[in-house]
Amino acid sequence: MNPPRSFAGSSIGRKAVMALSGVVLFGFVVGHMLGNLQVYLGPSALNAYAENLRRLPALLWAARLGLIAAAALHVWAAWSLTRSNWAAREVGYRERRSRESTYASRTMRWSGVLVLVFIVYHLMHFTFGTSWVHPEFVHGDVYHNFVTGLRTVPVAAFYAAATLGLGLHMYHGVWSMLHTMGLSHPRFNDLRHRFAAGITAVVVAGNLSFPIAVLAGALRERPLAAPERAAAPSRAEEGGAP
């Protein structure tokens, strides 16, 4: 018997894969939100941040490929565990009573699907600049793309809904991740809940602030100074939001 395959095929192994891939995705979500907060410093700060990332293409693509692999493993583990749970009980419950579970845990599958759909849309919207998704996209001008992309109410509403779905998924995901990593002793349970709730609140508040600020007019397009216009990349240059 092949030990690695046996481990990956077990429930514990798949939960470990989900936890480890979740750590990678969790780190990206937090880092991405912190990077985007630079939008409040103005066009120069956000565009410079994006440009600095593009100056290290090898590192940037390694991070992107790592995130794709982590997301694929996360989805595989979730789907595989879900199918195993369904197979373990061919006949459903006559009446389901959720005594210990939370709303976040009961909606993990649906919030996961929402986040996955949002990721695809977000990449088309801010990274690739797909014309029918973001008709005002300008390659290299991340601040412009950010503001013009979120000033449409339906788009801003979708971002807000996806952020709330991410919050539900992230809260239970962080709690479960810490449980899988062995922090399941009664002494740590309160700390796990506090950490999961706290970091989720920070990420949700930060990400919700972006569409709200744009719609409220707190974030708007600002003309660049002459030196900045000269240094700004042309529309033909590659590079959307990281």
The answer to whether residue 57 sits within a structural domain is yes
pLDDT tens figures, 179-215: 776 666 677 778 888 888 899 999 999 999 999 999 9
Q: Judging by beta carbons within 10 Å of its beta carbon (0-12, 13-18, 19+), is residue 168 exposed, middle or buried? A: buried
Least confident of 96-110, 165-179, 222-236: 222-236
- Top pLDDT among 99 and 118 is at 118
Give the three-class secondary structure for 226: helix
Please check whether residue 79 lies inside any domain of the structure: yes
More confident residue, 228 or 156: 156
In this prediction, residue 134 carries a pLDDT of 95
Tell me whether residue 101 is in a domain: no
Is residue 96 in some structural domain? no
Residue 142 within any structural domain of the chain: yes
Question: Of the candidates 85, 63, 67, 65, which has an alpha carbon nearest to the alpha carbon of residue 21?
Answer: 67
Is 220 a member of any domain?
yes
Q: How confident is the model at residue 174 (pLDDT cuts 50, 70, 90)?
A: confident
Considering its fold, how many domains does the chain have in total?
1
218-230 pLDDT per residue, tens: 999 876 544 444 4
74: in domain: yes
Phi, psi of 163 (to 5 degrees): -65, -40
Residue 224, domain extent = 14-85+106-231
Residue 60 lies in a domain: yes
